[in-house]
Amino acid sequence: MLLPGFGEEGQRKLLASNALVLGCGALGTVVANMLARAGVGRLVIVDRDFIEITNLQRQVLFDEQDVADAIPKAEAAKRRLARINSQVKVTAIVDDINHSNIEKFATGADVLVDGLDNFETRYLANDCAVKLGLPYVYGGAVGTVGAAFTILPHTTGGDAPWETSDGAGATPCLRCLFDEAPPPGLSPTCDTVGVIGPAVSIVANFQVAETLKILTGNLDRVCPTMLNIDLWTNTIYQLKVGRAYDDGDCLCCKHRKFEFLEGKAGSSAVTLCGRDAVQLTHRQGGGKLDFDDIAARLRHHGAVTANEFMIRAGITHNDKPYELTLFPDGRAIVKGTSEGSVARSVYAKYVGT
């Protein structure tokens, strides 16, 4: 409240606002932690994953007990945040973020904050932000480098608080900056090069600062350039970025074609960053899985653990060991491979299509 440009009014605005945190891994835990401490009144945290021991190096809301208890990340974050600031309302959603649900998650949100680990879902978030006219605070980190950029998208009527009727004030969107996602295998991932905690923390805290500016209405303070930082070579750049919108060739923010949101781009098998694992989702969602039935079947193949959130089974397939984790909605994570085809094969054999 003592900060100029913030004040009691700014604090009240935070209390009345709602931030959607997409992903609750390295970036997302830092973001959620700081937003809750700052007094953002409502946080919606979406994450599909469980906590592993190697996550603790950088995922600041979790501890060894969470790993032992097999608590989903979003739920563990919610429990921790309740002890940090009991007045913040936290909604934990344990689910994959995909084209069929992201708009539902964004309902009522004032800002989308990126805690994601893959570009496909980032393009989906970008589509959603542009379509709904919501700010999207992009962030990413791998190895010793990180990047962040705040997207204040064009809206159809030019009626967003950051935009004038001629489109001035809106920033490039993610597809203005990178038209296509980098092909798999061509960009470094946490799998191949690791990541140091400080790279994540710096990027995430930059995102938090941007989010606080947005939520308190300090839009003139939003950073117009893209942060690029490498903690190993000691370089920090602020890159000027141009709007493809102005040349008329951004599919998303100029032509308002939302390929990822419409399910026309992207796949249903996603290799998980740093996990040697593949997640499978089914575009045509069916009913809930019968956990008892499936657990009984899987026990024939190896050790099975189950709770209300998941079933986990050790499985040998083609003489190779895999760990299969199933969720009530039919989503699966197959650990032991980074190939979608192998994961689909394991799923088809032990769960069925």
Q: Which is nearer to Zn ion, 76 or 253 (CB)?
A: 253
* Of 125 and 252, CB closest to Zn ion: 252
Task: Considering the complex, state which of residue 160 and residue 332 has its C-beta at the smaller distance from Zn ion.
Answer: 160
Class of residue 268 by CB neighbours under 10 A (exposed 0-12, middle 13-18, buried 19+): middle
Which range binds Zn ion by CB under 5 A, 170-178, 255-263, 296-304, 324-332?
170-178
Min. distance of Cβ 75 from Zn ion in angstroms? 35
Residue 319: Cβ within 10 Å count? 5
176 part of the interface to Zn ion, by CB under 5 A:
yes
Binding footprint of Zn ion, residue count (CB under 5 A): 6
List all residues 6 or more positions away from 273 whose beta carbon is below 8 Å from its beta carbon: 117, 118, 189, 190, 191
250 counts as binding Zn ion under rule CB under 5 A = yes
CB atoms within 10 A of CB 166: 7
Distance CA 191, CA 8 (A): 44
Q: Is 32 in the site for Zn ion (CB under 5 A)?
A: no
Half-sphere exposure of 27 (CA within 13 A, CB side): 26
Alpha helices (H) in the chain, listed in sequence order: 7-15, 26-38, 64-69, 73-84, 102-106, 119-132, 174-177, 190-193, 197-215, 244-247, 291-298, 340-350
Q: To the nearest whole angstrom, how small is the minimum distance from the Cβ of residue 1 to Zn ion?
A: 37
Residue 306: closest CA among 70, 72, 94, 67 = 70
**Catalytic pick among 24, 128, 176, 190:** 190
Based on the shown chain and the rule CB under 5 A, indicate whether residue 128 belongs to the binding site for Zn ion.
no
Stretch that binds Zn ion, among 63-71, 165-173, 264-272, 276-284 (CB under 5 A): 165-173
Residue 190 annotated in active site: yes
What string of DSSP letters covers 166-200?
TSTTPPP-HHHH-SSPPPTTSS--HHHH-B-HHHH
Q: Which is nearer to Zn ion, 250 or 294 (CB)?
A: 250
The yes or no reply on residue 116 touching Zn ion (CB under 5 A) is: no
Among 45, 46, 147, 173, binds Zn ion (CB under 5 A): 173
Which residue lies nearer to Zn ion by CB, 148 or 311? 148
* Residues of this chain that bind Zn ion (CB under 5 A): 173, 175-176, 250, 252-253
- Residues annotated catalytic, as ranges: 190
